[in-house]
Every structure is written in structure tokens, then in C-alpha cells.
Amino acid sequence: MHTETLALYDSVRRRPVPVVLYQPTVAVARPRLALLSHGYGGQSTAYTFLARQLVAMGYVVASVQHELPGDEPIATTGNLRETRRPNWERGVQNLLFVCQMLQQRLPRLNTGQLLLLGHSNGGDMVMLFAHEHPQLVARVISLDNRRMPLPRTRRPRILSIRSSDQVADPGVLTTAAEQRTFGITIVALPATIHNDMWDGATEAQKQEINAIEAEFLRR
């Protein structure tokens, strides 16, 4: 796996958008693109176990750094689905910008099969992206997002992996009937807490998460 750091800059918003790019060492004719979003307060470099597996499955992975020094802190009061929305909207704009830039840099990318992954607050970002731009996304995977409801739709296809210690807000997760209707997959991890869903997890935890994601992506 080849790793590269990109110092992208969005001149319209006057905002840096740092990206860690993971690519196969051996060239793939039409690699699919995966955009990865970290949890709040996290780093784009903290999910290499996910990136490594996705690269092995033929993806180019762009891990986006959403929070920067000097950014307003995330809201902790009020209706968090509303008060955190500006943070998620900024994340959606970051992801759209990175996708556009990578299409220019890597014309061989197959962006028609876009995969979004996000942990915690990053999971809320990617679910908002799926609500607002469903035509751009093939699959979305969240690791324990808690605020933004999963889209009730067959496209994009949805997987949400849930921790043992955090509960999603009412209406975020789908009912069993909705899962059957829309083909949505929800998997609970009884031995993994919310803050374990990154490179600091045990090898067993990382292997379990990767196995669930691989099964979902191979369907």
C-alpha cells in the first residue's frame, strides 16, 4: 500500500482540506474511491486498519481531516441534530471537494461506485451526505454514528456497526421492518466500545470490524 499526504486547499471556502491518500502499490485499472471521515477530535491518520483492507479490495482511500486548529468547537447543548448540523455540512463540503480534486488528479478513478465511511461524528457527516447527494453514493458505512438518521432508501446501501456502550438518538437507527424493506444492515459489537473503533482497537476488534465490512462490500 502506498501512502501520500495531500495538502489540498479549497479556494472558494478559503479552507485547507488535508487528506491522507492510500493507494494500491500495483496499479488497478479502474479503482473505486472510498472517502473516510474521522470522529470528532480525531485524526485522518487514525484508521489505517480500514484503509489497508479497502486498498486490498481495490479501493483508493482518501482519509479527510475535517477539524482544523481554530475551528469552532462542536455543539454540546441544544438539539444536537440541529446544533451540530453546521459541522456536518462543512464535512459534506469537504468530501465533495476532495472527490472533485481526486477526479482531476486520478482520472482513472471510478467515482460512480463511491463508498463513504465515518466514525462517530464522521458517521453523522456521511449519513448527511447520503441524504443530500444519494445519486453520488453507492454504499455508506458508519461506525457508531448517533445523531443523523440513516436514510430509509435502497440506494445508497447502508451498513451501521454499533458499539456496546453508546446508544443512538431516537429515530437514527432503522427498525427491523425498515431493515428488511430497504436492505439496511445493522450489526452490534458486544465486545467493542465506541472509543475502540480506530487503530487503537485490539487486533481481534479490528479483524471483526473488517470482516463485517468486507462481507457487506462483497454482496
Q: What is the mean pLDDT of residues 163-168?
A: 97
For residue 126, pLDDT beyond 90: yes
In this structure, which amino acid lies at residue 98?
A: V
Assigned CATH topology for domain 2-218: Rossmann fold (3.40.50)
pLDDT of residue 27: 79
DSSP per residue over 115-127, as a string?
Answer: EEEEETHHHHHHH
Determine how β-strand 157-162 pairs with β-strand 139-143.
parallel
SS3 content of the chain, % helix, strand, coil (to 5): 35, 25, 40
For residue 111, pLDDT beyond 90: no
When pLDDT is cut at 50, 70 and 90, the band that residue 26 belongs to is: confident
pLDDT of residue 169: 97
Q: Which residues does 86 contact at the CB level (< 8 Å), separation at least 6?
A: none
The percentage of the chain sitting over the pLDDT mark of 90, rounded to a whole number, equals: 95
**Which three cell numbers, joined as nine digits, stand for 22?**
492510500
DSSP per residue over 169-212, as a string?
Answer: PTTSSPPHHHHHHHT-EEEE-TT--GGGSSTTS-HHHHHHHHHH
pLDDT of residue 112: 86
Q: What is the mean pLDDT of residues 69-82?
A: 96
Cα 172 to Cα 59: distance, rounded to the nearest angstrom: 28
What integer best gives the mean pLDDT of the chain?
97
